[in-house]
Amino acid sequence: MWGGRTGALSRVWGLWPTGVLGRKPLSCNAASLEGNNSPHCWNCGGPGGPLRGDGFFCPQCSALQPPDPTRDHFSLMDCNRSFRVDTVKLQHRYQQLQRLVHPDFFSQRSQTERDFSEKHSTLVNDAYKTLLAPLSRGLYLLKLHGIEIPEGTDYEMDRQFLMEIMDINEKLAEAQSEAAMKETESIVRAKLKELTDNVSRAFEQGDFEKAKEILTKMKYFSNVEEKIKLKKIPL
């Protein structure tokens, strides 16, 4: 029964955050049918990129190869498939990849390579952004395990949690001074930190249902955090 009311509350107050995952499908696996599964280079027909190094370029003619559709974000970014990622390492890998595939470096090359570089670059950006933020990283990891939290789905939340969210939303709505905003912001940050630690533990224990529940809570708090950011922008 509370589940039904929860849904109504979410709709009325817009508590359900949207756009956390963006509009595009998360998986890069379905991004293209023309991946480099084929062991041959599209340009010279030579034996292929995917088996050598990162597989971005043909070892014979140096032509840029299409993205590998079977590769997930963790593999692309050279991270273990785990919630815990080294964000400094992630950033280095991002810069390294953009130096390889950024469209600026392909302006003098064939149209095919320009198209591939656009695709690679988009994938690299997506992978980096997704893995950098704990919430999107957690949702992506869940998705790789076959579990999704579809946008707009009413999820059974406990009453205490909903009260907490209502409370913080009220605080935010009433916050008139910078100090009041800062106070609300620090509550939200502390809460997100706590939830991030908890979800990390749930993933380590392989408890995906628990991870799903915590990530759903993180979505709510992350939504409040977005509202705070918007409120901070001077009109």
Q: Pull the structure tokens for residue 131.
A: 């893995």
Is position 46 an interface residue for Zn ion (rule: CB under 5 A)?
A: yes
User: Binding string to Zn ion for residues 61 to 80, with x set by CB under 5 A, is what?
Assistant: x-x-----------------
Q: Which of 101, 99, 98, 79 is nearest to 90 (CA)?
A: 79
Distance of CA 184 to the CA centre of its chain: 25
Segment interacting with Zn ion (CB under 5 A) among 55-63, 103-111, 169-177, 223-231? 55-63
Is position 51 an interface residue for Zn ion (rule: CB under 5 A)?
A: no
Using CB under 5 A, count the residues that bind Zn ion: 8
Minimum distance from residue 48 beta carbon to Zn ion (Å): 8
CB contact at 8 A, 68 and 54: no
- Judged by beta carbon, residue 27 or residue 60, the one nearer Zn ion is 60
Is position 41 an interface residue for Zn ion (rule: CB under 5 A)?
A: yes
Is position 44 an interface residue for Zn ion (rule: CB under 5 A)?
A: yes
Segment interacting with Zn ion (CB under 5 A) among 37-45, 80-88, 101-109, 147-155? 37-45
Q: Which of 77, 107, 111 is nearest to 94 (CA)?
A: 77
Q: Which of 27, 32, 38, 43: binder of Zn ion (CB under 5 A)? A: 43
* H or E, element range at 182: helix 178-204
Residue 61's alpha-carbon distances to 105, 206, 235, in angstroms, are 16, 44, 55
Is position 58 an interface residue for Zn ion (rule: CB under 5 A)?
A: yes
Q: Which residue matches tokens 């929860």?
A: 6
Rounded distance between C-alpha atoms, residue 219 and residue 227, angstroms: 12
- Judged by beta carbon, residue 48 or residue 103, the one nearer Zn ion is 48
- Judged by beta carbon, residue 68 or residue 72, the one nearer Zn ion is 68
- Judged by beta carbon, residue 41 or residue 192, the one nearer Zn ion is 41
Largest CA distance in the chain: 66
- Judged by beta carbon, residue 44 or residue 173, the one nearer Zn ion is 44
Is position 190 an interface residue for Zn ion (rule: CB under 5 A)?
A: no
Residue 103's alpha-carbon distances to 58, 71, 99, 185, 224, in angstroms, are 17, 20, 10, 39, 36
Minimum distance from residue 103 beta carbon to Zn ion (Å): 20
Contacts of 109 (CB under 8 A, 6+ apart): 64, 117
Residues making contact with Zn ion (CB under 5 A): 41, 43-44, 46, 58, 60-61, 63
